[in-house]
Amino acid sequence: MKYTRKATPVVLAAAVALTLTACAQSERASGQGGASSGGDTKDTFTFGAAGAPEVFDPFYATDGETFRVTRQIMEGLVGIKAGTAEVEPELAEKWEPSADGKEWTFTLRKGVKFTDGTPFNADAVCYNFERMFDQNEAAAAGPAEYWSTTMGAFKSKAKDSLYQGCEAKDESTVVLKVARATSKFPTMLSLDSFSMQSPKAMKEGDANNVKTQGEGFAYPKYSFNPVATGPYKLEKYDEANKTVTLVRNDDYWGEKAKTKKIVFKIIPDESTRRQELKAGSIDAYDLPNPVDWNGLKSDGNKVMVRPAFNILYMGLNPQKNPKLKDLKVRQALLYALNRDQLVKTQLPDGATVATQFMPETVSGYNKELKAYPYDPEKAKSLLKEAGAEGMSLTFAYPSEVSRPYMPNPQKIHDALRSDLEKVGIKVNVVTKPWNGGYLDGVDNGQFDAWLLGWTGDYDSADNFVGTFFGNYDVNDFHTKATSYGKQLADDLAKADSIVDKGQRDAAYEKLNQQIMEEYLPGLPISHSPPALVVSPKVQGVVPSPLTAEEFSGVTVGK
Amino acid sequence: MLRFIVRRLLQMVGVVIVLSLLVFIWLRSLPGGTVSAMLGDRATPESTARLTKQLGLDQPLWVQYGRFVKRVLSGDFGLSTGVLPGRDALDLFLSRMPATIELSILALIIAVAAGIPLGYLAARRRASTLDNLSIVGSLVGVAVPVFFLAFVLKYIFAIQLGVLPVSGRQSTGLDATRVTGFFVLDGILTREWDASWDAFKHLILPALALSSIPFAVIFRITRASVLEVMDEDYVRTAESKGLATSTIRSRHILRNALLPVITTIGLQTGGLLVGAVLTERVFSLGGVGDALATAFTLRDYAVLQVLILAAAVTFVLVNLVVDILYAVIDPRVRTR
Amino acid sequence: MTPNPLKTQADRRKERIDDLAATAGGSPSGTVTGAGEIEESPGVSLIASAWRRLRRNPVFLVGAGITLAFVVLAIIAPWIAPHDPTQGLLLDKVRQQSNPIPGSEPGFPLGADNRGRDLLSRLLVGAQQTLIVGVGATVIGLVGGLTLGTLAGAFGGWVDSFIMRIVDVMLSIPSLLLAMSLAAVAARPSQMTVILAIAIVEIPIFARLLRGSMLAVRSSDHVLAARALGVKQSAVVFRHIIPNSLAPVIVQATIVLATAIIDAAALSFLGLGNPDDRKPEWGQMLGASQEFLGDHPHLAFYPAACIIIVALGFTLMGESLREALDPKSRR
């Protein structure tokens, strides 16, 4: 082996560097930088996101991190009034149902344009719905999850679908047909997944072309180049630096966004987000750890606590453990749990004991219901009556996860477990990683009891109790193994189809009472308020109970 | 020499094939996975079954492996399902690699720049205060868990003093141009000096934390090796010949003492990779280690496969380079 | 093996282990030159001479002192802990926002953790689990290595080559990466899976070490002498070969104890540790303290300090043992 000492690598390195320099050109926009804008506000709002957006086409997304981004660049026919869970007009100015609740006429806002310059009109709306309806097998199996859960089926099984067609009456009038009256309509149209996107861009980017490849899904080009009508548009997604940059849509139909850019900086670690906020490199982040709330406040930040729109419950599986078939046993379990202490010590301020399977903000909530009090003696005597003293119970909790309704599963489980042990129940503790067998285990009915919860998608009782018990054949609670399961599912479907809101709410209130007093398929535990923290310089963030904030009114002081 | 390299590369191919089979079977035996990661708490028995079927995860393992091999042969390593869903797993690895390489190189530079001189000095002044202090220091360096050291560094320099950034690879407002994915290099190539400097600042703390163990090891090996060489006959001969001290030190002692040090550096690559998983996690650095940890929690099979195989290949390649380097430095090996 | 112009990286790694193994055979005392203040008399065994040197080595004494204190603490901890570490005695004082971590108060000098459990008691009792993890991982690694090494040594031939090839492949994978993978595979993570994950990584190291040192001892002078004197085979094996082969293994074991404890902490940090914290362990406590680092760093610092001190103790002891047993460094 021959080589020239020392000189070779130096020459080589220099050559490589020169070649590279020759083809590397700065692509910076001239005059960039935060200082260029006048006034006393910064031109960028930086948000610390916990995860990367999966795709930028919200129709194929299910996670909050994606929706947080797409919400700034997209709008639906129906919007949510800032700071509430109520619907308000967005791209549709008004809507009117037919008497049977099966045809909905939407009057569209005029003069709205997609950011690619094409007009937003009735044809565009129908194109959007037909596009969502007409999904291939791959997309239908997973990515288009929100459509599956709300509409039931796709074009291939058109009969089973709630959506039955879209008709453009004129430039700004659209009629949407549904198979039956349902409480969810039109509220469900406020879901981020059902945002209106540019037909032209979707055609060009082959938006529906989702494919399974190996064990994953391959998304079309459009999924990463979204075009819609919102106050912001996607500027770039810098994967290497883990940042998503949005820039103001200067042709927006409504009030223009106050801050020129929004940057989402992806910081998976919770404590790092807090440190970044302290260091001033981000202006806000979502779901601060409850233990940090006080510290954050004393640093001058604003901790915005949203109303709880979620439920944590302890699921029970009567099929796995036949003792649980007895209502007395299920009631005994609920009497045994000291939920007051749990809420006080392990959950954030503002958390409450759940009296039923939905939070107070949902229409159909039964205010009359009282929480089962903590009464270990009663629990013991009920167990005795049922002949289930000293019964054993396999009670599972997930590891590697933190959910808004369950900030620390292990600690919650620990508290509940010791309560159960106090009334003589033998608890077998099982824990599995959230993605590594826990969710599977729940779905496959492997545990007698488990911890899980739900955050509402929109204001609808059906979105809570309907999700839990509405499907009689298969649900996590295995109500099929009980005497009341069929009745409950039928009643839920009936309540959902009542057109009149007053009557419908009354029906749900009654159902909630029945669920708690006669059925008790699981044990509701608590509602925890999720928080959002912003630095003192930030103005204009309106916390949303649905954790669906829009940032177009946000300003960041210098 | 060439034959040697080819043989080693062929060996590597064999190792990778066997490893791929093992990794595949082992990952598929894990509960949960893709389906749970995609559906989260929206998972219902119905949607879970539907998705499992669509992805072919209900097929027997050997069928799945057959498909996997077929796809890999056509250059398709599968798509990420958790870290960045829908992205090609190999692309994902390639885009994350520069961050880890930057970090590891800087950490190695720190370890070498501190370890070798200190080891040499400690050996020359054996049993002095400097010697004892640095020995204890290096032992402490090994005893401190890397991630804890990373936390402490971050706490002091980024949070209390605020002189260095808390996390990430580059500040958000810079709008830097990307060329190679190596941020420091990119800044130099495009003459965006501020971007380069900013990226470098982001690397300092993680690299310091990561360098603790390699530093300790390099220091100890250097010290031991210099001590050994100083006793060798040829050094004594050189001394008795009356050669200048500086000549003896540079040409006889240091040059010969460095051989085992280079081996050690090679041995540290595996350790660096592991340390990178921990430090990248602490500093949200977005490199391979960060992706690996995320892939584990999200049970992202495709990404895990690529990362584990890539780690094995990297490990073998680095060892090969070290072996070649060894030959270059040690004339005895070369002429043999 | 095919003739190889270059020593490969892996070869050198193996050599390093074999070097240590070779110390077992013990070079005949007489050849040790320049032993300095230590007088080597021919009749003194290697271990005895090593011990004489160690007794005066402050590094060893500090290491051994820490280790001894740790082991004693681990044994008596349940009796001296002021409270039951599993009971949330201060739970009523815990408020997620206003008081997530109860501070110190009479009877609770270090305060409590997030679930109102006495921190001092948890730290004290934590020594026990930490020792169990360390010793457990080491012993399982040792037994596994012993079995593999003995099998390889006893059968020789292709069994030997086969086992040693497996061992070499395992050696080439970064240790914590392997442990991470193993811990992640565990369907039900627990203390045992953590111990196993770390132990399995140690098996190849011990296997190689033992096989090497047994080979070295088998051909060493005193074994040959014993054989020549007609000592029975079993007596040779049990009285001469095994005791003398164990020295390097013991050295390695003390070092492994330290890494096992640190690795357990790393696994906990990555969320792959034992999720059940009713029996506290320092690494687990450190991993769990992450979310409180901002306002309550003491929750991390106490277990971290314990880990560092104990790991340092084991390392100091192991390193000085290694040096004492290594003929090369006896100069």
C240-288 pLDDT tens trace: 776 677 777 777 888 888 888 998 888 888 877 877 777 888 988 888 8
Least confident of A47-61, A505-519, B16-30, B170-184: B16-30
pTM of the model as a whole: 0.83
**Token pair for C39:** 């007088």
The pLDDT of residue A130: 94
- The answer to whether the Cβ–Cβ distance between B274 and C187 falls below 8 Å is no
The total of other beta-carbon atoms located within 10 Å of residue B252's CB is 20
**Token pair for A341:** 């202490």
- Strand, coil or helix: what is C36? coil
> Is B319's pLDDT higher than 60?
yes
Gap between the Cα atoms of B112 and B122, Å rounded: 15
User: Which of A7, A54, A392 is CA-nearest to residue A239?
Assistant: A54
Residue partners of A208: CB distance under 8 A and separation at least 6: A131, A134, A135, A136, A139, A202, A220
Cis before A186? omega within 30: yes
Gap between the Cα atoms of A445 and A449, Å rounded: 9
- The answer to whether the Cβ–Cβ distance between C98 and A295 falls below 8 Å is no
Residue C232's identity, in one-letter code, is K
Query: Taking the alpha carbons of A15, A16, A21, A22 in that order, is the dihedral positive or negative?
Result: positive
Best residue of B21, B142, B265, B332 to probe chain C, by most C CBs closer than 10 Å: B142
**What average pLDDT does the structure give for chain A?**
87
Domain boundaries, chain A: 310-527
A479-516 pLDDT tens trace: 888 888 899 999 999 998 888 888 999 999 999 999 99
Task: Judge whether A446 is closer than 8 Å to chain B, CB to CB.
Answer: no
The pLDDT of residue C187: 62
Average pLDDT over residues C190-199: 86
Residue partners of B28: CB distance under 8 A and separation at least 6: B61, B64, B301
Residue partners of A12: CB distance under 8 A and separation at least 6: none
Tell me yes or no: is domain B89-335 CATH 3.40.50.300: no
Residue A445 Ramachandran class (φ > 0 left, ψ -120 to 50 alpha, else beta): left
A418-475 pLDDT tens trace: 899 999 999 988 888 787 778 888 888 889 999 999 988 888 899 999 989 988 888 8
> Is B217's pLDDT higher than 80?
yes
> Is A547's pLDDT higher than 50?
yes
Helices (H), A362-520: 376-385, 409-422, 439-443, 461, 467-469, 485-496, 501-514
Q: What total number of domains does chain C contain?
A: 2
Gap between the Cα atoms of C25 and C46, Å rounded: 9
Domain boundaries, chain B: 89-335
A245-290 pLDDT tens trace: 999 999 999 899 999 999 999 988 888 898 899 888 899 999 888 8
User: Can you give the length of chain A in residues?
Assistant: 558
Distance from the C55 Cα atom to the nearest Cα atom in chain B, whole angstroms: 18
Highest mean pLDDT among A135-149, B134-148, C299-313: C299-313
Report residue B238 CA to chain centroid gap: 40
Looking at CATH, the fold of the domain delimited by A310-527 is given as: Dipeptide-binding Protein; domain 3 (3.10.105)
> Is C178's pLDDT higher than 80?
no
Where b means 16+ CB within 10 Å and e means fewer, C154-184 reads eeeeeebeebbeebeebbbbbbbbbbbbbbb
Which residue of C lies nearest to A396 if distances are taken between CA atoms?
A: C188
> Is A362's pLDDT higher than 80?
yes
| CB within 8 Å of chain C, chain A residues 432-451 | 432-433, 436-437
**Token pair for A404:** 């808004």
Which residue of B lies nearest to A35 if distances are taken between CA atoms?
A: B173
Gap between the Cα atoms of A89 and A75, Å rounded: 10
- The answer to whether the Cβ–Cβ distance between C97 and A348 falls below 8 Å is yes
B41-60 pLDDT tens trace: 777 777 888 888 888 888 88
Highest mean pLDDT among A82-86, A254-258, B129-133: A254-258
> Is C185's pLDDT higher than 70?
no
3-state secondary structure A94-118: EEEECCCCCEEEEEECCCCECCCCC
> Is B336's pLDDT higher than 50?
no
Are residues C20 and C110 both part of a single domain? no
Which residue of B lies nearest to A54 if distances are taken between CA atoms?
A: B85
Task: Judge whether B274 is closer than 8 Å to chain C, CB to CB.
Answer: yes
For residues A402 and C138, which has the higher predicted lDDT (pLDDT)? C138
Partners of residue A437 in chain C, C-beta under 8 Å: 187
> Is C304's pLDDT higher than 60?
yes
- The answer to whether the Cβ–Cβ distance between A347 and C187 falls below 8 Å is no
Least confident of A115-129, A402-416, B194-208, B235-249: B235-249
Partners of residue A411 in chain C, C-beta under 8 Å: 114-115
ipTM over 0.85: no
Distance from the B125 Cα atom to the nearest Cα atom in chain A, whole angstroms: 31
Average pLDDT over residues A338-353: 90
How many Cβ pairs within 8 Å bridge chains A and B?
A: 237
The pLDDT of residue B334: 47
Query: Taking the alpha carbons of B92, A288, C281, B167 in that order, is the dihedral positive or negative?
Result: positive
- Strand, coil or helix: what is C227? helix
> Is A36's pLDDT higher than 60?
no
**Token pair for C181:** 């993978």
For residues B40 and C68, which has the higher predicted lDDT (pLDDT)? C68
- The answer to whether the Cβ–Cβ distance between A292 and C295 falls below 8 Å is yes
Gap between the Cα atoms of B176 and A33, Å rounded: 11
Partners of residue B293 in chain C, C-beta under 8 Å: 270
Domain that holds residue C35: 5-43
The bridge status of strand A555-557 relative to strand A538-539 is antiparallel
Binned at pLDDT 50, 70 and 90, residue C36 comes out as very low
Binned at pLDDT 50, 70 and 90, residue C330 comes out as very low
The total of other beta-carbon atoms located within 10 Å of residue A250's CB is 11
- The answer to whether the Cβ–Cβ distance between A433 and C96 falls below 8 Å is no
Partners of residue C13 in chain B, C-beta under 8 Å: 267
Average pLDDT over residues A48-70: 89
CB B263 within 8 A of CB C10: no
Which residue of A lies nearest to C297 if distances are taken between CA atoms?
A: A271
Binned at pLDDT 50, 70 and 90, residue C2 comes out as very low
**Token pair for A26:** 């700065």
Gap between the Cα atoms of B119 and B131, Å rounded: 8
The bridge status of strand A284-286 relative to strand A44-49 is parallel
User: Which of C61, C160, C16 is CA-nearest to residue B220?
Assistant: C16
| CB within 8 Å of chain B, chain A residues 530-549 | none
User: Which of A235, A276, A270, A233 is CA-nearest to residue A251?
Assistant: A233
Instruction: Tell me what percent of chain A is helix, strand and coil, each rounded to the nearest 5.
Output: 35, 20, 40
User: Can you give the length of chain C in residues?
Assistant: 331
DSSP at C291: G
Report residue C205 CA to chain centroid gap: 12
Task: Assign residue C119 the CATH number of its domain.
Answer: 1.10.3720.10
**Token pair for A140:** 């239908």
DSSP at A57: -
Gap between the Cα atoms of A175 and A299, Å rounded: 52
The pLDDT of residue C327: 54
Report residue C239 CA to chain centroid gap: 25
Are residues C60 and C23 both part of a single domain? no
Is B289 buried (19+), middle (13-18) or exposed (0-12) by CB count in 10 A? buried
The pLDDT of residue C99: 74
